[in-house]
Amino acid sequence: MDLTAVIIVPVLFIGLPWLIFHYVTKWKQAKTLTEGDEKLLDDLHEAARRLDDRLCTIERIMNAENPNWRQQCLPGRGSESERLLATGERL
């Protein structure tokens, strides 16, 4: 019985708190961003900004060529063939 108490007491008062604090610090470290993560986020943000600029440019060009292009691209307007035929393209 003394051997069991000698094993259980250190496990409860040393091993268990060590295990808990070990994983708490691991979770806290995992929540922070590394330099690589920050660089990746910056690169993704820059790519998204460039894509948004490109989309705005395409929309300006489309508006200049055909001001009603948005109505032709709306979903639920009909089948794909009807939209293509409405724009004058042949299947």
Q: Give the Cα separation of 66 and 59 in Å (integer).
A: 10
Q: In whole angstroms, what separates CA 78 from the centre of its chain?
A: 33
Q: Note the pTM of the prediction, 2 decimals.
A: 0.49
Q: How many domains does the chain divide into?
A: 2
Q: pLDDT per residue over 13-34, tens digit each?
A: 898 999 999 999 988 888 788 8
Whether residues 38 and 17 fall in one domain: no
Residue 84 has pLDDT above 80, yes or no: no
Residue 61 has pLDDT above 80, yes or no: yes
Confidence bin at 58 (pLDDT 50/70/90)? very high
Whether residues 60 and 27 fall in one domain: no
Whether residues 24 and 47 fall in one domain: no
Whether residues 54 and 72 fall in one domain: yes
Written in H, E and C, the secondary structure of 29-81 is HHHCCCHHHHHHHHHHHHHHHHHHHHHHHHHHHHHHHCCCHHHHCCCCCCCHH
Whether residues 21 and 50 fall in one domain: no
Residue 5 has pLDDT above 60, yes or no: yes
Among 7-11, 61-65, 71-75, the range with the most confident prediction by mean pLDDT is 61-65
Whether residues 44 and 24 fall in one domain: no
Q: Give residue 16's domain range.
A: 1-32
Confidence bin at 43 (pLDDT 50/70/90)? very high
